[in-house]
Structure 1
Amino acid sequence: MPYKNFEEYNISVTEEVKDKFKSIIGDLGEDLERDGILKTPERAAKAMLFLTQGYHQNPEEILRSAMFKEDYDDMVIVKDIELYSLCEHHMLPFFGKAHIAYIPNGHIVGLSKLPRIVDVFARRLQVQERLTHDILECINDTLKPKGVAVVIEASHMCMMMRGVQKQNSTTTTSGFRGQFEKIETRTEFLRLISADLA
């Protein structure tokens, strides 16, 4: 039985993006009839639509779909959430990890929803600073916790492949709201995401 890909794409949008990629590839000097390139415009179009699908997803709805009343009011941390995004300046990838914590205020959220909202915001053209802010404010506005914290550590291909070409550099961004603006709470969070508890 042949391999079948179950991803679904808007056919008319895919065709438009495919034609644009075909034009770009041709303008770069590549032979559009070469075996290895024949299906590249379509593959590139589908890849780009997949990598930017966050524009069509609602992160607030994702969180609200799994909010539960609960009296728990200590820190909840989900760390080492893999993320992959595209830099809006060069449309090159940046990738790394997000660490999220919140202190519930009458409601908790299904743990899988936090990585899902990271994906929603990461699958848009982004800068790391805004990605951090988007995740932070979405959780703060939707869940209304006593506090929320987000730290992102990422490597940027626009710095590694071109420009300054620094392969070992990483960028860290952070945001804190509510109780995490207190130094002792923030310090506990930063200690826990740095610790190997296994």
Structure 2
Amino acid sequence: MDAVIKSFPPRTEEEKAATTAPIEKPAAKRPSQKEAEAAVRTLLRWTGDDVEREGLIETPARVAKAFREMFSGYDQDPVAELGRTFEEVAGYDDLVLVKDISFHSHCEHHMVPIIGKVHVGYLPDGKVVGLSKIARVVDIFARRLQTQEAMTAQIANVIQDVLKPRGVAVMVEAEHMCMAMRGIRKQGSTTLTSTFTGAFKTEPAEQVRFITLVRDSRTA
């Protein structure tokens, strides 16, 4: 039997885009309040405690409520926080530095606290953002299960992507309770991470200036 060869018209750009666009995965259904409380009761029983004793009766509800607050970053959009910018900056184009932004996060490996401070600097390119917005962005990423390395990069990248400054510098100093409370149990040790973009990455002098200004408050 002879093969039949048919010619098809070339695909339009829309058709190409439809076949190459990433497929969005449906969002996982969030458990109900009752399911969350039941999970806490299971963990309490697993520790060996009595979930029916007076001190623990309300604990599952309290834990579920606390988790909703501590992990509220999943319901917030850092891009939206940076959406409103100001272009009337009187020609200012030098470093903007917000130091010592306190944060509390949770390690994604053991779900125990990470406590520390974030320092954020950027070189404006015609527009600036309200200083409180920088702190809000830190909070949004901190209120998720995290690694310090990922959080550092996330903060820098979203500021770079939205504000499009000439460069962004982010430094995070934190103590990890997974080191202090379990495992090697070394209290007081601090982990330092940093991410640099744009001029902070290509111009060593800008990077040194950022670090020096951050450190000045430690030696004053």
- Structure scoring higher RCO (CA < 8 A, sep ≥ 6) equals 1
SS in 2 for 1:74: coil
Query: In 2, distance between residues paired with 1:18 and 1:50?
Result: 15
Identity of aligned residues (%): 47
SS in 1 for 2:192: strand
Partner of 2:97: 77
Partner of 2:213: 192
Larger Rg: 2
Query: In 1, distance between residues paired with 2:92 and 2:198?
Result: 17
Partner of 1:38: 57
Q: 5 Å matches for 1:1-198?
A: 13-64=32-83, 66-69=84-87, 70=89, 71-181=91-201, 182-196=203-217
Q: Which amino acid aligns with 2:105?
A: S
SS in 2 for 1:116: helix
**Once the 2 structures are TM-superposed, how far is the Cα of residue 29 of structure 1 from its aligned partner?**
1.5
Partner of 2:8: none
Q: Which amino acid aligns with 2:204?
A: I
Query: In 2, distance between residues paired with 1:20 and 1:48?
Result: 12
C-alpha deviations, 1:8-58, integer Å up to 9, x for none? xxxx73222111101111222211111111111111111112111111100
TM-score (norm 1): 0.91
Q: Which runs of 5+ in 2 are unaligned?
A: 1-30
Query: In 2, distance between residues paired with 1:27 and 1:76?
Result: 50
C-alpha deviations, 1:156-198, integer Å up to 9, x for none? 0000000111102100000001111211111111111111397
Q: Which amino acid aligns with 2:63?
A: A
Query: In 2, distance between residues paired with 1:52 and 1:16?
Result: 17
SS in 2 for 1:86: strand
SS in 1 for 2:36: helix
Supply the RMSD in Å over aligned alpha carbons.
1.5
Partner of 1:5: none
TM-score (norm 2): 0.82
Query: In 1, distance between residues paired with 2:128 and 2:142?
Result: 23
